[in-house]
Amino acid sequence: MTPDDPDVVVCDDPGAARYELFVAGELAGFADYVLSGETMTIPHVEVEPRFEGRGLGSRLARFALDDVRSRGLSVVPRCPFMAAYLKRHPDYADLVAGQSPSA
């Protein structure tokens, strides 16, 4: 299985205020969020231990950040995983709340 496998699906569940990652229909991970005005805070990202090490957390983070961008929001990465992902992917730096566009 690769992160781009068609059996891997990521979606937004606004009722639960989280992004969910499914592998072959099974919930494998999620990213909680809190919306406040034009800012989305992501306090927690979790991938079930048996699904770790396959790049699925990165796929979940990428989906969340692409959604933030498409909605014109900024993000506050409270989760260490999300903060680390943002450091490794400077193409998302413009989304971080409080950052200047040239940061």
Cβ burial 69-101 (10 Å sphere, 16+ → b, else e): eeeebbbbbebebbeebbeeeeebeebbeeeee
83 three-class SS: helix
Integer angstrom CA distances of residue 64 from 75, 89: 10, 13
Quote the pLDDT of residue 4: 59
Give per-residue pLDDT as tens, 20-77: 999 999 999 999 999 999 999 999 999 999 999 999 999 999 999 999 999 999 999 9
Q: Answer yes or no: pTM beyond 0.85.
A: yes
Domains and CATH numbers, the chain: 8-90 (3.40.630.30)
pLDDT band per the 50, 70, 90 thresholds, residue 102: very low
Beta pairing, strands 26-36 & 39-47 = antiparallel
- What count of Cα atoms within 13 Å lies in the side-chain half-sphere of residue 37? 5
